[in-house]
Each structure stands twice: as C-alpha cells, then as structure tokens.
C-alpha cells in the first residue's frame, strides 16, 4: 500500500474519532449546585463534640462544568479565629445526588489551615465534612456543615424564539429544547404555510417546574398566582385557592422571526402558557423604535407544584449585564412542604 494512502486512511480515522469526541454532550454538574447554602457547622475533635457555629454560609461558585469553588465563612474555634476558607472541588453526579471533594490550603497572618473535605448535595440541600488542621494544633478538627439554599438567583438566555428552557427549581438544573409544536407562518393575520412538528415532549429529560420562552412562562402541570408583595421574605404562608393553571394558546407564541422584514412571522400552532406568570413584564408602547419599553412588575409570584410543594418567584430583569434583551433574571425559593 502506498504511503500516501496510509496517511489518508489514518487522517480519516483520526477525524472520525475527533468528531465523536466533540459530539459527546457535556453535562454541567457544577451549574446545578452553585449558590449560597445557609446552615450550621458542627465541630468535633477526636470524636468529641466541641460545639457548633450557627447561621454560617457556604458559597459554591462554578469554575467549569465539573469543578466549583467552595467558600466557607470565617468562624471562631476555641482560641482560634479561622479566616474564610476557599478551596476548589470536583463535582460528580449519580442518581440526582452530586458528590464533591477537594483539598484545603488557606494561609493567614497567624497560621495555615490545611485539610480536605467531601460532601453530597441535591442542589438544594448540602452536607459537607471538612477535616481541618489549624496551624500547629496536634489533632485535626472535623467540621460537618449541613445547610440549604434559602433563595437563589438565575439568569436564562431566552433570546432564541424557537426554544424553551426547562428548569428544575429544586436542583437548579436546566435544559433548552426546541419548541416541538407545528409552526404556522402568518402574514397579515392569515396562515400562509405550516411546518410540521419536530421532536416531542419526550425530548425533555429533566424533571422541571417552569419553562421560559422569551418572556413567556409555563408550568409543568402546576398553577400560579400573583401576590401583592415585592419582598419575598414577606410571603410566609400559602393560600389554598386562587391559583391559575396554564392555558392553551393558538398562534400566540412567536417561534421564527427569520422573515419578519417580509411581514411573515412563525408561531407555535399551539402552546401552553401560564397567564399569571407571563405578566411579570409590563410592555409600554413607545410609538417609535424600539416599539416597547419593558418594566418588571417586581411582584412575588407563587407556583403550586403537582407534588404539593411551592415555589416563590420574583422576576427582576429582561436584559443581561450589557443591556442585551432576551435574558430573564429571577430570584426563587423552592419550599418543600411534602
């Protein structure tokens, strides 16, 4: 066999291998556990309880899809004032539980803190065991942190008209899926053509509570109401009535703006939308360009889930940090009552 042919075969094989590897989906485990957890830190030495630190926070920040940074608040132990501890951690997933582990090395003016830690979280509650070695202290100190998220904030990139982002508000997991209804193309209020449905509801592979399409919101079989409160902390109980379920909307959700300049816009032939949640943003006509200005209501919304648990929501922005529209930022609290 000629050398040039061998090189060609080898190059083709490497190309196939490279394509297969690049096509493997990267699951962002780190994003699913980020946030601030509040709880208590139980301390012990050689199996003997040495007290606890109450109302301490553990901040988890994403580095990449499989790595995070843990930041544990400063605290006092015996005669030691322990500074804030920051350490990297790897994240692995199994059956909805995320396992983390890492090493500790923090230097202060008085001493160096070393050790390691490991823990588990479902993205809402977390349990981490820290093994601290404070300076020249002869025995390590074991600190067991147990806490949960009270509130979290999320920003969804909802610029694409053709997709919905499905969100699990118990874990923070998200999945973006193309709208799987048939699309009707309208011009001057009349349907000019239709494209068949692509995909189905089975394409959604996560458990989810709400989904976002541009500024439209729907629930997963739940129902919602708007409170008169703007402070989430003021919503301390949940009424048993007054919740509004999702409604079917025909030709009301824009899915394709490709031919907008020709006067043709694509719409989902049918879609479910929650009429309460979808009013989180007030649009005011300008009579010029841009045609509307937008302002969040800043109200606290409550979603009653099918499992009987509740979610408090406050939508705060429809732009990102650079002012680009189509981003939905909201604060939420998942309240377990079952």
Q: What is the pLDDT of residue 11?
A: 40
- Please state, in angstroms and rounded to a whole number, the distance separating the CA atoms of residues 68 and 37: 14
Q: Give the domains, in start order, of the chain with CATH numbers.
A: 30-148 (2.40.128.350), 152-335 (no CATH)
- Please state, in angstroms and rounded to a whole number, the distance separating the CA atoms of residues 194 and 256: 12
Kindly tell me if the per-residue pLDDT of 90 is higher than 50: yes
- Lowest-pLDDT choice from 65-74, 248-257, 262-271: 65-74
Kindly tell me if the per-residue pLDDT of 9 is higher than 60: no
Q: What is the pLDDT of residue 111?
A: 84
For the purposes of burial, counting CB atoms within 10 Å of the CB of 304, is it exposed (0-12), middle (13-18) or buried (19 or more)? buried
Kindly tell me if the per-residue pLDDT of 15 is higher than 80: no
- Please state, in angstroms and rounded to a whole number, the distance separating the CA atoms of residues 194 and 187: 12
Which distant-in-sequence residues (6+ apart) come within 8 Å of 335 by Cβ?
238, 309, 310, 311, 312
Q: Mean of the per-residue pLDDT values for the chain?
A: 88
Nearest residue to 172 (alpha-carbon basis) of 36, 318, 338: 36
pTM over 0.75: no
Q: What is the pLDDT of residue 338?
A: 65
Q: What is the pLDDT of residue 34?
A: 83
231 versus 316: the higher-pLDDT residue is 316
- Please state, in angstroms and rounded to a whole number, the distance separating the CA atoms of residues 283 and 31: 31
> CB of 314 within 8 A of CB of 291?
no
> CB of 314 within 8 A of CB of 320?
no
- Please state, in angstroms and rounded to a whole number, the distance separating the CA atoms of residues 120 and 101: 9
Q: What percent of the chain has pLDDT over 70?
A: 91
């Amino acid at each position: 066999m000629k050398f040039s042919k061998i090189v060609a075969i080898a190059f083709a094989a490497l190309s196939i291998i490279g394509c297969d590897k690049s096509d493997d989906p990267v699951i962002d485990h780190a994003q699913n556990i980020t946030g601030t957890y509040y709880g208590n830190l139980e301390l012990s030495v050689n199996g003997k309880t040495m007290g606890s630190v109450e109302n301490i926070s553990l901040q988890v920040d994403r580095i990449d899809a499989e790595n995070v940074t843990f930041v544990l608040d400063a605290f006092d132990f015996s005669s030691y004032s322990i500074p804030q501890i920051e350490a990297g951690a790897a994240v692995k997933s199994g059956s909805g539980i995320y396992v983390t582990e890492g090493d500790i090395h923090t230097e202060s003016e008085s001493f160096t803190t070393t050790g390691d830690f490991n823990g588990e979280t479902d993205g809402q509650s977390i349990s981490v065991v820290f093994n601290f070695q404070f300076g020249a202290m002869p025995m390590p100190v074991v600190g067991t942190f147990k806490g949960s998220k009270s509130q979290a904030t999320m920003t969804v990139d909802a610029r694409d008209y053709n997709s919905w982002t499905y969100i699990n508000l118990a874990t923070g997991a998200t999945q973006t899926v193309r709208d799987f209804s048939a699309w009707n193309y309208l011009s001057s209020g009349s349907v000019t053509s239709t494209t068949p449905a692509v995909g189905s509801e089975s394409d959604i592979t996560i458990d989810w509570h709400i989904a976002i399409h541009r500024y439209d919101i729907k629930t997963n079989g739940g129902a919602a109401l708007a409170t008169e409160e703007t402070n989430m902390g003021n919503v301390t109980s949940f009424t048993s009535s007054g919740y509004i379920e999702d409604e079917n909307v025909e030709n009301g959700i824009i899915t394709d703006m490709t031919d907008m300049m020709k006067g043709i816009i694509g719409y989902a032939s049918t879609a479910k939308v929650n009429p309460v949640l979808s009013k989180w943003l007030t649009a005011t006509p300008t009579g010029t360009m841009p045609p509307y200005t937008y302002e969040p209501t800043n109200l606290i919304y409550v979603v009653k889930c099918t499992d009987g648990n509740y979610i408090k929501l406050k939508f705060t922005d429809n732009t990102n940090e650079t002012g680009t529209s189509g981003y939905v930022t909201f604060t939420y609290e998942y309240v377990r009552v079952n």
